[in-house]
A and B are shown apart, each in its own frame.
Chain A
Amino acid sequence: MTLLSLQNLTVRRGDCPVVDDVTVSIAAGECVGLIGPNGAGKTTLLRGALGLLPHEGQSSLTDMSAADRARHAAWMPQSREIAWPVEVDTLIALGRIPHLPRGAKLTPTDQTAIDAAIARMGLESFRRRTATQLSGGEQARVLIARALAQDTPLLLADEPIAGLDPASQIATMQVFRDLARDGHGVVISLHDLGLAARHCSRLLMMHAGRLIADGPPRDVLTPENIAQVFNITGFWADTDHGPVFQPMEVTR
């Protein structure tokens, strides 16, 4: 089942296309990694797809009403804003806003979704802590849990694992993989190509606003592609523990 389809999506800043004519669709069960150097248009692509930026072309998300979209796709922005010193529990419960009629209290269904999100991110011991007093990495995990609590078929996250410690990075990628296995669609942008190669079922590679490559990690992280897009060489090996990719040298 297709959860997101973009047709010739173009987002301009002034006259310059930051995202240039991207056509792609994301199905249930996919854990898609969006990769590309800084300024390639990853964030703009995701924000354009959600209708947060004016754009040309079609996005299946912007055809929905705001309320339907909020129940279909959750979004974790790159800027990890927590404006007020609320408890972690309260913060994660904000993810239920799209499901609640105005002024309604949390139902058992909502509480189940919140508890499940907290359990997935391993945040049980943080529930009563003040969110703004956590470390940056802990805040990121809480905000991922907030997006999970929205309990949507599609999850879009902008650099969710940046700034996390290695164990949390791997655990979080595992969470995204599990979500995909449970029938969700997941799109995350990330810079760690090694984690992308190991955990994503599919990679989208962007360069200067265009979609350069789309497919399984092995077919995307080719020497030609990474040389052209990232100006690096890489090392790929298939091991007993799955694929290993390590960026090596700068070519330019």
Chain B
Amino acid sequence: MRLFLTLLALCAVLFVASLTSGQITAGVSESLAALFARDGLPLSVVMQEIRLPRAILAVMIGASLGMAGAAMQGFLRNPLAEPGLIGVSGSAALGAVLAIQTGLTLVCPLALPLAALTGAVLAVLLILMLAGPRGASITLILAGIAISALAAALTSLVLNLSPNPFAAADIVFWMMGSLADRSFVHVWLALPFMAVGWVLLILSGRGLDALTLGEDAAHAMGINLTRLRLMVVIGTASAVGAATAVAGAIGFVGLVVPHLLRRFVGARPSALLWASALGGAAMVLAADIAVREILPQRDLKLGVLMALVGAPLFLHLIFKTRKEMA
């Protein structure tokens, strides 16, 4: 409970900080007042139509990545699992890349997230087909790796054959992940998919707890493993697919956040789900503030910063684990 309140408070503070971060500087109270003002002043417009959706998206995407990471780790009983493992983010990226390459995004800006979502849906259908209806987790991992590799190869192919250097640059920048210039349209587009994902993942908590004892014991305790797998795969796909669709590929959140929080929830997979959702939201909010504060003129990409912070953090975890094992 204390952890819950701490994480919630952290998210609230970072949310306000995110709202007040950016090129137009204004005090906290002034900015928050502008959120509700109907005066059409630049600050009000910026607050209501740029910063608010950006902060909300950071929360939604962080929560999706964190929760999906915790669910994947719990389901595969492997602390190195992450939501990208089942190939959904790679396939969503491929969808987006195709939309940029074909010029669809110039006709209709929403074509990009919609194409990315289509990629994610196709990936999940493919993975369920490949892994079989009641296959073990190893077939799921293998199918995920195969799909990720295929999506990465096709993405490279598109870049390779791209006749238009501007489209290629667009693609590369999009793939780095960012929350800049998103609007409420993106929020409303992603929210239904993410909400479905969150519900499915939260409902899988009990099964994930039982899986602590292995598949056989969980099955004998009345857990329907086929249904659990469907819930985890579809939940992860719809939450992470939607996240990738609106913000591009943002790595490390789903891997590092459950890792950091595991010991604070007594390692219980069900408790780790919501803890990682809040932790992921806090992490993405913080990173999105950092990209605006560190190099305000250079449009530093969120995914790049996350990888820069995440990789050393992960190294630290490796050394700590090694020490514990010695």
Residues of A within 8 A of B (CB): 47, 50, 52, 66-67, 69-71, 73-77, 79, 81-87, 90-91, 94-95, 97-98, 102-103, 143, 146, 150
CB contacts (< 8 Å) of A70 on chain B: these are: 220-222
Q: Do A81 and B213 touch (CB < 8 A)?
A: yes
Lowest 10 A-B CB distances belong to which pairs?
A70-B222, A81-B214, A75-B220, A83-B77, A84-B267, A77-B216, A66-B222, A86-B267, A67-B222, A85-B267
* B49 is an interface residue with CB less than 8 A from chain A: no
| CA of A82 to CA of B218, assembled, Å | 12
* B182 is an interface residue with CB less than 8 A from chain A: no
Q: Do B267 and A50 touch (CB < 8 A)?
A: no
* B266 is an interface residue with CB less than 8 A from chain A: yes
CB contacts (< 8 Å) of B211 on chain A: these are: 83
Given A74-B220, A75-B217, A143-B213, 7 other A-B residues pairs in contact with their CB atoms under 8 A: A66-B224, A67-B222, A73-B220, A81-B214, A85-B267, A97-B209, A103-B205
Q: Do A146 and B268 touch (CB < 8 A)?
A: no
| CA of A71 to CA of B222, assembled, Å | 8
| CA of A91 to CA of B221, assembled, Å | 13
Q: Do A79 and B222 touch (CB < 8 A)?
A: no
* B269 is an interface residue with CB less than 8 A from chain A: yes
Against A, the Cβ 8 Å flags (1 = close, 0 = not) of B214-231 are: 101101111110000000
Within 8 Å by CB of B212, from A52, A73, A84, lies A84
Within 8 Å by CB of B221, from A82, A85, A90, A150, lies A150
Interface positions of B from 25 to 61, Cβ below 8 Å from A:
none
* B210 is an interface residue with CB less than 8 A from chain A: yes
Contacts A70-B221, A103-B206 given; does A94 touch B212 at CB 8 Å:
yes
CB contacts (< 8 Å) of B216 on chain A: these are: 47, 52, 75, 77, 79
CB contacts (< 8 Å) of B217 on chain A: these are: 75-77, 81
A135 to chain B, nearest CB (A): 16
